[in-house]
Amino acid sequence: MKSVDVLLGLQWGDEGKGKVVDVLTPRYDVVARFQGGPNAGHTLEFEGQKYVLRSIPSGIFQGDKINVIGNGVVLDPALFRQEAEQLAASGHDVTRRLYISKKAHLIMPTHRVLDAAYEAAKGDARVGTTGKGIGPTYADKTSRNGLRVGDILGDFPAAYAKAKARHEAILQSLGYQYDITEAEREWLDAIEYLKQFTLIDSEFFINQLLDEGKSVLCEGAQGTMLDVDFGSYPFVTSSNTISAGACTGLGVAPRRIGEVYGIFKAYCTRVGAGPFPTELHDATGDLICDRGHEYGAVTGRKRRCGWIDLVALRYAVMLNGVTRLIMMKSDILDDFDTIKACVAYDIDGTETDRFPYDITHDITPVYAEMPGWKTDMSYMTDEDEFPEEFNAYISFIEDYLGVPIKIISLGPDRSQTIERYTEGE
Ligand code: GDP
Ligand code: IMO
Ligand code: MG
């Protein structure tokens, strides 16, 4: 087995990555985030407590594990401080177990304003971003105007003033009104707070750990369908959420990558605007939303819900080189007479099982229908207890995607997780 495994979402985010990273962490020495930022909201539940992490890796609750925020991440010091202080208040001091790449880019208060201004300018075509300044920060990175975490150790006031002036000029040209006085004060205080953390050259740090025989679990944020290259562009986030992002976002070579864990919900959700072929605008969609408590972990926004989309999932499996699948929230479908799975798209009367270039086009999903299992599965602890209809659903998905489902999640708690073993493993 190689020593860098990647765990990432195969749908439009919120698949349950936080929960599974927490479950798998005991098997690894290091947990590392490689892209995204506080647009993420990763929920973990154990011992009756619930935590939502945005920038801090989900390995943080497990003993002496090393947690890394990689160079591919965009970090908002103010939100990071809030998150770290909340964890400290609940008895989890992260200062000594968290290492932050000097090459991670800083989200500035004006990036957040730009995010809002660009969304406002798009009108009806807005992306429905999380408003955390993600797009403008990655844009500054790519256009070589960004500020990095390592810059706080140098002549930071001058670099900050210059970057802020650029943003102000853009905002003025857009005629966008804003006031960042309070946010800026908090942000500058948080820059000082950040200095107590170990700021590292994470590419050297991680490669050295690997050379010493340590193992790393990379924690993806968002999901494959939000990838800036391969997702439902332009309704995407601004980073590479796919497995390749782990290489660029941490500085590990592709040959180091071992298992790729692809997570999906037993159905499908999306938050924000953009195409979603299997979205349900009916009572079934509302029922999935209610049963699944499908409201954003960070923004509280209602998530759009629909049946599982195997066309999009197969595309995601291909892009990521998924070796093991993880199916989440199966318990939410416990009470349905019929379960549907999208196996093809009907586009202008032509059926295809290939994810198309233009998914804003009118797509009618073609469904396979299966009987529901109508059994409360949330208390099950072994795959031998699975109802026959549920096993049929699993097999159908495995056959379509050509990859085994190795973990089944039946509830939000750490303990509600069942691993499936193949003979000989
Ligand atoms: P992430 O962004 O991929 O980490 O996922 P989120 O935390 O945003 O959303 C997943 C939600 O589903 C959270 O509220 C979890 O507590 C919850 N959850 C995770 N797995 C399961 C499961 O198997 N069953 C149920 N009922 N809830 C789950
Ligand atoms: P986790 O890691 C679900 C969505 C936003 C919007 C689009 C762009 O918790 O799965 P951005 O703020 O990134 O510029 O928004 O991406 N989005 C997410 N949707 N889960 C997430 O993260 C998301 N992060 C961003 O809703 O449609
Ligand atoms: Mg989330």
The closest ligand to the CA of 263 turns out to be: 1
Give the containing element (helix H, strand E) for 76. Answer: none
Is the pLDDT at 172 greater than 60? The verdict is: yes
**φ, ψ for residue 63, nearest 5 deg:** 45, -125
Between residues 300 and 206, which one has the greater pLDDT? 206
Residue 424 banded pLDDT, cuts 50, 70, 90: low
- Cβ count near 379 (within 10 Å): 10
Looking at every residue in the chain, the average pLDDT score rounds to 96
**φ, ψ for residue 323, nearest 5 deg:** -105, -25
pTM beyond 0.95: the answer is yes
Side chain identity, residue 16: G
**φ, ψ for residue 327, nearest 5 deg:** -105, 125
Residue owning the nearest CA to atom 9 of ligand 1: 14
> Does the beta carbon of 41 sit less than 6 angstroms from any atom of ligand 2?
yes
> Does the beta carbon of 135 sit less than 6 angstroms from any atom of ligand 2?
yes
- Which of 83, 129, 298 has most ligand 2 atoms within 8 Å of CB, for mutation? 129
Side chain identity, residue 352: T
Is the pLDDT at 1 greater than 60? The verdict is: no
User: Which protein residues have their CB within 5 A of the ion that is ligand 3?
Assistant: 14, 41, 297
* Binding residue ranges for Mg(2+): 14, 41
119-144 tens-digit pLDDT: 999 999 999 999 999 999 999 999 99
Q: Are 246 and 2 in contact (CB under 8 A)?
A: no
Is the pLDDT at 296 greater than 90? The verdict is: no
pLDDT at 63: 82
- Six-digit token pair at 247? 């290489």
pLDDT at 74: 98
> Does the beta carbon of 128 sit less than 6 angstroms from any atom of ligand 2?
yes
**DSSP state at residue 36:** B
CA atoms of 60 and 74, how far apart (whole Å): 18
Is the CA virtual torsion 387, 388, 392, 394 positive or negative? positive
pLDDT at 422: 65
Stretch 75-100: mean pLDDT: 96
Stretch 362-372: mean pLDDT: 96
30-70 tens-digit pLDDT: 999 999 999 999 999 999 999 999 999 999 999 889 999 99
pLDDT at 421: 76
Stretch 390-410: mean pLDDT: 97
Active site (annotated) includes residue 14: yes
Pairing state between β 308-309 and 49-53: unpaired
Prior bond to 275 cis, omega within 30? no
Q: Which residues line ligand 1 (CB under 6 A)?
A: 9, 13-19, 40-43, 45, 297, 328-329, 331-332, 409-412
Nearest Cα residue to 56 out of 45, 36, 64, 328: 36
Give the containing element (helix H, strand E) for 106. Answer: strand 105-106
